[in-house]
């Protein structure tokens, strides 16, 4: 752009000079004479690159195109703190047919600000990629399709509880940490979960996941 402006400046000067050389001398104006508008080019009379025969082409700009410049990374926002100091407990209510209802409670000890909600999810697929590894770890990016919402509470409450019903013999669910099922309903396999994770949420965004409990990928064989 700077090169183009420089060329137009040179062209403007050359154009004015050529016009002055081609016009015959004018008589000196009287004291009442008003200069005519022909002595000053109008804004629309911008000369083109071919208007002045002697104009020298401008040099190619040395500034690299912006599209080839590496983008500057944006600062990473601090984000919300995830729940910490997690503790998971379970209370069972047994029935005469051998089935039971299991109530889980997960609590956290760090103080979370008012307006923060803590959501608890089950992970319906073991995400480990190496033998014997835990199905999920703190900070892992978990796809939405693998999240089963188990419960939620205000961050200042310090705990979330949820329950599920299971038929006789917990081994029916292999190495799952739990299932999503109502009383009398046998959970489908995509409703079993292999880990329990929590994250904090508010109007500004979401924290990383933190793990309350997890199986590893060797526990999945019944």
Q: Give 53-118 as a DSSP string.
A: TTPPPPPPP-SPPGGGSPPPPPPPP--PPPP-S-EEEEEEEE-TTS-EEEEEEEE--S---TT-EE
Task: State residue 10's pLDDT score.
Answer: 36
CA-CA distances (angstroms) from residue 82 to 168, 186, 198, 203? 36, 33, 7, 15
Say whether pLDDT at 85 is over 90: yes
Pick from 164, 195, 173, 170: which is nearest to 102 by CA?
A: 164
Q: Where are the domains of the chain?
A: 2-65, 87-214
Average model confidence (pLDDT) for the chain? 74
Pick from 117, 119, 90, 112: which is nearest to 103 by CA?
A: 90
CA-CA distances (angstroms) from residue 135 to 31, 122, 214, 218? 97, 11, 6, 9
Helices (H), the chain: 2-22
Question: pTM for this one?
Answer: 0.63
Q: With 0-12 CB in 10 A as exposed, 13-18 as middle and 19+ as buried, what is 128?
A: buried
The stretch 147-171 carries a mean pLDDT of 89
Task: State residue 9's pLDDT score.
Answer: 35
Residue range 162-210, pLDDT digits in tens: 998 888 766 567 788 999 987 778 888 889 999 999 999 998 899 999 9
107 HSE (CA, 13 A, CB side): 6
The domain 87-214 is placed in CATH, from the list 2.60.120, 2.60.40, 2.40.10, 1.10.3470, at: 2.60.40
Considering only CA atoms, give the Rg of the chain. 38
Identify which of 22-36, 55-69, 204-218 has the greatest average pLDDT: 204-218
Residue range 129-139, pLDDT digits in tens: 888 899 999 99
Least confident of 6-15, 105-114, 211-220: 6-15
Residue range 116-131, pLDDT digits in tens: 999 999 999 999 988 8
**Strand intervals (E) in the chain:** 87-94, 100-107, 117-123, 147-154, 159-166, 178-179, 192-193, 195-202, 205-206, 210-214
């Amino acid at each position: 752009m700077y090169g183009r402006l420089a060329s137009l400046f040179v062209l403007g000067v050359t154009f004015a000079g050529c016009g002055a050389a081609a016009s015959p001398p004018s008589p000196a104006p009287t004291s009442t004479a008003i200069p005519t508008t022909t002595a000053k080019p109008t804004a629309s009379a911008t000369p083109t690159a071919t208007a002045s025969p002697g104009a020298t082409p401008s040099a190619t700009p040395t500034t690299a195109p912006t599209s080839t410049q590496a983008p500057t990374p944006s600062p990473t926002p601090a984000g919300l703190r995830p729940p910490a100091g997690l503790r998971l407990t379970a209370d069972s209510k047994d029935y005469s047919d051998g089935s039971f209802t299991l109530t889980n409670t997960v609590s956290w000890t760090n103080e979370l600000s008012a307006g923060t909600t803590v959501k608890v999810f089950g992970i319906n697929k073991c995400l480990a990629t190496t033998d014997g590894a835990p199905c999920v770890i703190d900070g892992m990016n978990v796809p939405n399709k693998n999240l089963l919402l188990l419960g939620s509470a205000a961050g200042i409450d310090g705990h979330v509880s949820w329950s599920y019903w299971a038929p006789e013999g917990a081994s029916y669910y292999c190495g799952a940490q739990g299932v999503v099922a109502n009383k009398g309903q046998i959970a489908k396999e995509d409703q079993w979960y292999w880990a329990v994770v929590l994250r904090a949420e508010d109007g500004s965004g979401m924290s990383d996941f933190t793990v309350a409990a997890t199986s590893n990928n060797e526990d999945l064989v019944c």
